[in-house]
Amino acid sequence: MMEQIFFTIGLALIVSLIVGPFLIPVLRVLKFGQNIREEGPKRHLAKAGTPTIGGLIFLCGIVVAVLIMAEKPYSPGIISLLGITLAFGLVGFLDDFLKILRKQNLGLKAKQKLAAEFLIALIFAYVAVSLLGRGTVIGIPFSHLTVDLGVWYYPLLALVVVSATNTVNLTDGLDGLAAGCMAISAIGYILISILAVNTGFLQGIAVNSSDLTVFAAAIVGGCLGFLRFNFHPARVFMGDCGSLALGGALAGLAILTRSELVLIILGGVYVLEALSVLIQVISFQTRGKRIFRMSPLHHHFELGGWSEVKVVTVFWTAAVVFTFFGVMAFVGMVIGGTKL
């Protein structure tokens, strides 16, 4: 198993490193450059024109590594995980393309984007519950308690998926931030998937024992390879094409490892980013005052004088801490004897 994990990480990393130098010049020639919001941090204006849609780099790494390293590359588990990842990647690609076409930071309308995201989420919910045997019972982190949500599991699952995709998208605001955090989160899911398989926690789910581990490992390798081009100063941005795809992949792993609530802990960085936006909006609309200098949260620290690299490094460290507690929360479920 360990050899398979390291080979998968290495293969995804190498493919990303190979694709990057070929794709980035093509994006430049096509003038697929990033449009920068004028209301954002002023130092970001210098990034205008940096190639975007770079998420294709690690998506290539993930797909190639999974199809080669998975024991059964066309198994229902692998197809469903790749399906949700690429489906969200397609929505993000359309959003990015429209922004480039219109030469402003306005892609798909919010209603169009959310409708597409909920549709994908509900399709995945049907596949997970009805075809893969996921069931509708969820476990409570750090305990052996369970709750059978019945038909209410579907809207919860849709909420988990849409929330994951959009919170990762919010996190993608600094060079290397989202890719680094996702690599760390995916390492957490390598550990969770190993625990889940070896303790019988996935009993009843029609997924190959190593499918989830290989998929998580491919995300780690793909993101690490992408960081070669995305760390400050970034030569390419992942765009919504990449951030939505990563969010969908993370949600898929959480659902198929029966760790939806654990994701709230493990993905603490994404949760904080989303909460900062929510708090900022509510405070401004009700009190006319802003709590943060700017939201999402990473911009608050950036405007406080922190360098971009310092903000990213601190957030990566926070991601490690949240991932540790997320894995411990899952261990608590397993040790507690949660029966799903």
Model confidence at 262, in pLDDT bands (50, 70, 90)? very high
Model confidence at 143, in pLDDT bands (50, 70, 90)? confident
- With CA atoms as reference, report the closest residue to 331 among 217, 215, 201: 201
Model confidence at 264, in pLDDT bands (50, 70, 90)? very high
Q: Delimit the domains of the chain by residue range.
A: 2-335
- Of the ranges 132-146, 211-225, 297-311, which is most confident? 211-225
One-character DSSP codes across 40-82: S-GGGGGGTT-B--THHHHHHHHHHHHHHHSSSTTSHHHHHHH
pLDDT in tens, 223-240: 999 999 999 999 999 999
More confident residue, 56 or 108: 56
pLDDT in tens, 209-224: 789 999 999 999 999 9
Is residue 266 predicted with pLDDT exceeding 70?
yes
Model confidence at 12, in pLDDT bands (50, 70, 90)? very high
Is residue 339 predicted with pLDDT exceeding 60?
no
Model confidence at 247, in pLDDT bands (50, 70, 90)? very high
Averaged pLDDT, 46-56: 84
42, burial (CB in 10 Å: exposed 0-12, middle 13-18, buried 19+): exposed
pLDDT in tens, 153-168: 999 899 999 999 999 9
Q: What is the mean pLDDT of the chain?
A: 91
Distance CA 287, CA 116 (A): 33
pLDDT in tens, 78-102: 999 999 999 999 999 999 999 888 8
Q: For position 249, what pLDDT does the model report?
A: 97
Characterise 236 by phi-psi region: left (phi > 0), alpha (psi -120 to 50), beta (else).
Answer: beta
